Structure 1
Amino acid sequence: MTRTRGERGESGETPPGGARTRRRTDRAPRGPAWAGRNYTLLTTAAVVTGLGSSGALIAAAFAVLEAGGDGTDVGLVAASRTVPLVLFLLVGGAVADRLPRHRVMVAANTLNFLSQGAFAVLVLTGDARLWQMALLSALGGTGHAFFAPAAEGMVLATVNGEQSARAFAVFRMGVNGAGIGGAALGGALVAAFGPGWVLAVDAAAFAAAGGLRCLLDVSGMPVRTPGAGLLADLRDGWREVTGRPWLWAVVVQFAVVNAVVAAAEAVYGPQVAEEHLGGAGPWGVALAAFGAGTVGGALLMTRWQPRRILRTGTLCVFPLALPCAALAVPLAAWPLTAVMFVSGLAVEVFAVTWMMALHQEVPEEKFSRVSAYDWFGSVAMVPVATALAGPAETAVGRPGALWGCSVLIVLLTGAVLCVPGVRTLERRTKTKAKPGLEPDRTEPDQPVPGRTTTEPEPESEPESALEPEL
């Protein structure tokens, strides 16, 4: 949001000398200069939903087990959420490039609030049946199919290009920090009170997040004009993806990696916890350790900006094989917690570098469509993997299935490193802001809080380069 003239005096001039220093000190913002109102609202909403959803993942699995289900039933309910996610993701991406993205996000939050609320009521009343839990999970997946492409890149649209890496890392720190608290608290609440109350908290979190996103200032958002049609938009997005080998190679990689990780965490993890670790509590702590690792990775990325972003990120995917191997052994609770922390830290480095690559290389007006293909590839195999996790366990045993997951992650990550673009794509040192939510920023003639007046001003883009294109 552009600052008004009144903040610099009626004439627009900044008083010289001591008056300039005094005014800057009096009006210093509480956070970084680039963290404006829209950025704060989006980050807060994401933290709120992260707190609820992290616990709800544990609660849903144990709700199925408490209703008399087995590992196959847990996998089927998890798959029922992902099937509509896969079916509607591409449509959601095209819609988000046509409609105001914040409205799509609020509508999706509303659907998630209603579906999770109904899920909680069924579990709390003791009347939950497998088909009902699967249906409500499917509604939640539908909401996420429209939310994810609209949300992708929204945070980066609120800051200028030179601050995007740091802003996204700080955003991820908040979200992942919520994952720590949500997973640990969720596991403890499931153990103490049952899964129904955790699902109710998740429903309330979606309602609160939707309300926060209604408060976004979208006056700087460019008007979106309809294109040639929905199918034409999807074809255009497909060309954007297939024209970049580094992009589709990573999408294919994570189609399998995310599938096997989801099967391990949603199906095998709760069973290992129930039989060897002592139940939901230790498993919640292990998932919280993964969240703690992601916070550490995000903190690292606020300081470290590797030049070859994709090569660095892909190397950090290898540790994702460790949790599956630890569950296959299985390790005791505390060694498993340590493994989860390391894998979380590494994968967060990948997450930040991947988003930087997309934000740097993909045109803003096509971002949601490209993001939808990215999401589609990332979740397309998850329903298959979670649904087949039970039969695979029956066929080769749980340790054999988990070792197979580890091997697949290592082989696919090694293959992606053979793609030239993955090894050579470099971070640009200067980028311009892309149009979207108007970034809150400091004017060039206003000193940044914390910098003395005698320090030289850094080189910056012209003011016009930072203005959103209307």
Structure 2
Amino acid sequence: MQNHRSDLVLLRDRSFALLLAARTVSTLGASFAPVALAFGVLGLPGATATTLSVVLAAEALPTVAFMLVGGVIADRLPRNRVMMASEVLNAVAFFSLAAMLLTGWTPLPALVTAAAASGVAIAVLYPTMTGIIPDVVPADRLQTANSLLRLGENFSRVMGLVAGGATVVLIGGGWALAASGAMFTVAGILVAAMRLASAGRPVQAEGVEGGHSVLADLREGWREFSSRQWLWVIVAQFSVLVMAVQASHGVFGPLVAKENLGGAGAWTAILAGEAVGMIAGVVVALRLRPRRPILVATLVLIPSALPYLLLGVGAPLWTVVAGAFVLGVCFDIFGILWSTTMQREVPAEALSRVSSYDALGSLMFGPIGLLLAGPIAIAVGPKPALVGCAAIVTLSCLAALLSPGVRRLRAPEPAEEVTTR
């Protein structure tokens, strides 16, 4: 088993260090957005829960719609260049949202357009990020690399949530969104400085010469995806789980915080508790090497329903923050085990496309959850809706455990890992 000192040797690699810095800065910018956007929109004249649902769904829908195209692009082109373009597009989107809130010119179509641009950027960035890690580090360092990247992201989430929440409370959401845009710009510059050894892949050459169409690439990615039961079962689980999580985080949670817990400060504390939990989850995942990684990852997800249940039953704020901490631990252990398993099991030349099917399936019901969240909050109230979301999260995890592929997939022996590259 590797010790912490050998883990940190990876930081001496220039490309990995730049990737880590870029993701840390980008996540710092993104962590300003949940509080700034939610309370910025809710604070607009005449805005309701439905208004917030529409803006958030405008970001989520393009994320789903462009995800497969993003996977093809990331498998055909140098992934660092694709990642840079995504960061720049996100910067443009957030600068636009900031300008609207700061000037007071906030027509809903303009807000929706800017949010949609961010959604496209996310659609391209997600499969690129999954695929770029094996381009940068050797196979036996994949879990370490995923853990260090998560660690940087999670420290940024804590810092960003605290700073972003304070910015929203003191001077407004527009300035917080402007800060996000600046950080996405810096992240794009850092990624542009990367140099990847695997700049060209077979898919690239064939695509350039016309040997592969986009549809042919997608069919090949689908074969890789659908041939692995553990993969498509967990993606099916997440299609339901993410619908509940996005509705809870995007609409129900902020509404309960505003109505019962004191507003933006309380919601910031809850999100910060989740981010601290993610840091703790990374520390655990750095040392965790389960023989059945997908089984362990799925079991770990079950307690993640806790903060939604606590919010739904009107528990005190400190208990909700503690529940959010548990959710953060669970999600990051799952995320690291999941990413590492995909990177080990899926061929590198198809990894971004398979990752795009993963993201598409996982996120496809998210916009529905966001669109329905506003009307559901009005019809039954956000607290009962949160209890229902907690039940959906729990039941989806239990259903995934029925799959033999989820229960039986084994990680390679350490010696095998080293020789796979």
State the TM-score, normalizing by the size of structure 1. 0.84
Give the partner amino acid of 1:32.
V
Which residue of the partner structure matches residue 251 of structure 2? 267
Distance 2:242 2:161 in 1: 19
Q: Does 1:60 align with 2:44?
A: no
Q: Does 1:70 align with 2:48?
A: yes
Distance in 1, matches of 2:264 and 2:344, equals 41
Whether contact under 8 Å (1:160, 1:432) holds in the other structure is no
User: Do structure 1's residue 395 and structure 2's residue 379 form an aligned pair?
Assistant: yes
Match of 1:213 among 177, 191, 207: 191
Alignment deviations for residues 154-198 of structure 1 (CA, whole Å, 9 cap, x no partner): 224322222211221121111111111111221111111100010
CA distance in 2, matches of 1:237, 1:45: 28
Measured in 1, the distance between the counterparts of 2:58 and 2:415 equals: 41
Match of 1:347?
331
Q: Say yes or no: does 1:254 pair with 2:231.
A: no
Change (3 A) 1:35 1:260: farther
Q: How does 1:31-430 map to 2 (within 5 A)?
A: 31-33=8-10, 35-68=12-45, 69-223=47-201, 224-225=204-205, 226=207, 227-430=211-414
Give the superposition deviation at 1:29: 11
Structure 2 contact 36–177 (Cα < 8 Å) conserved: yes
Equivalent position SS for 1:356: helix
Deviation of the 1:152 alpha carbon: 1.2
**In the superposition, relative to structure 1, how do residues 109 and 432 fare at CA in structure 2: closer, same or farther (>3 Å)?**
farther
**Distance apart, 1:109 and its partner CA:** 1.3
Take 2:301 and 2:247, find their aligned partners in 1: how far apart are those partners? 17
- Does the aligned pair in 2 maintain the 1:360–1:431 contact within 8 Å? no
Larger Rg: 1
Contact 2:135–2:197 (CA under 8 A) maintained in structure 1: no
Judged with a 3 Å threshold, the aligned counterparts in structure 2 of structure 1 residues 64 and 371 are, in CA distance, closer, same or farther, namely same
Deviation at 1:370, TM superposition (A): 0.2
1:322 aligned counterpart, secondary structure? helix
CA–CA separation in structure 2 for the residues paired with 1:46 and 1:288: 18
Matched to 1:51, the amino acid is L
* TM-score normalised per structure 2: 0.94
How many residue pairs were aligned?
410
SS at match of 1:86: helix
Question: What is the CA distance between 1:97 and its match in structure 2?
Answer: 0.9
Superposition deviation, residue 148 in structure 1: 1.3
Amino acid at match of 1:361: E
Q: 1:30 to 1:162 in 2, by over 3 A?
A: closer
Q: Give the superposition deviation at 1:31.
A: 4.5
The separation in 1 between residues aligned to 2:7 and 2:302, in whole angstroms, is 39
Aligned-partner Cα distance in 2 for 1:238–1:153:
16
Matched-pair contact (CA < 8 Å) for 2:297–2:334: yes
AA matched with 1:40: A
Alignment of 1:18-37 (within 5 A): 31-33=8-10, 35-37=12-14
| Contact 1:309-1:357 at 8 Å conserved across structures | yes
The question of whether the paired residues in 1 share the 8 Å contact of 2:53 and 2:251 is answered with: yes
CA shift in 2, pair 1:39/1:330, >3 Å: same
Read off the aligned partner of 2:379 and give its amino acid letter: A
Assess, with a 3 A threshold, how the Cα gap between structure 1 residues 389 and 80 changes in structure 2: closer, same or farther. same
CA separation of 1:365/1:146 partners in 2, compared to 1, >3 Å: closer, same or farther?
A: same
Q: Is the 8 A contact 1:93 1:368 kept in 2?
A: yes
Instruction: State the alpha-carbon separation in 1 of the partners of residues 287 and 212 from structure 2.
Output: 43
Give the CA deviation at 1:259.
Answer: 1.4
2:281 maps to amino acid: G
Q: 1:389 to 1:40 in 2, by over 3 A?
A: same
- Distance verdict in 2 for CA 1:279–1:94, change over 3 Å: same
Shift of 1:42: 0.6
Deviation per CA, 1:379-424: give whole Å up to 9, x if none. Answer: 1111110010011123332222111111111111101001011111
Q: Which amino acid aligns with 2:148?
A: V
Structure 2 unaligned segments of length 5 or more: list them: none
**Paired residue secondary structure (1:73):** helix
CA contact (8 A) 2:10 2:16 kept: no
CA drift of 1:153 comes to 3.1
Residue by residue, what CA displacement relative to the aligned partner does 1:3-36 show, whole Å, maximum 9, x if unpaired?
A: xxxxxxxxxxxxxxxxxxxxxxxxx999415641
State the SS of the aligned residue for 1:418.
Answer: coil
Which whole-Å deviations, capped at 9, do the CAs of 1:40-62 have from their partners, x for residues lacking one? Answer: 11111011011111111211111
The residue type equivalent to 1:323 in the other structure is P
Separation in 1 of the partners of 2:29 and 2:173? 12
AA in 1 matched with 2:73: V
CA distance in structure 2 between the aligned counterparts of 1:297 and 1:236, rounded to whole angstroms: 34
Partners in 2 of 1:232 and 1:409 — Cα distance?
A: 35
Gap change, CA 1:380 and 1:220, over 3 Å in 2: closer
> CA contact under 8 A between 1:188 and 1:280: conserved in structure 2?
no
CA apart distance, 1:130: 2.2
Larger helix fraction of residues = 2
In 1, are the aligned partners of 2:77 and 2:200 still within 8 Å (CA)? Answer: no
Q: 2:255–2:382: 8 Å Cα contact kept in structure 1?
A: no
Letter in 1 for 2:114: L
The one-letter code sitting in structure 1 at the alignment partner of 2:172 is G
SS of match in other structure, 2:131:
coil
Q: Which stretches of structure 1, 4 residues or more, deviate above 6 A after TM superposition?
A: none
Q: Which runs of 5+ in 1 are unaligned?
A: 1-27, 434-459
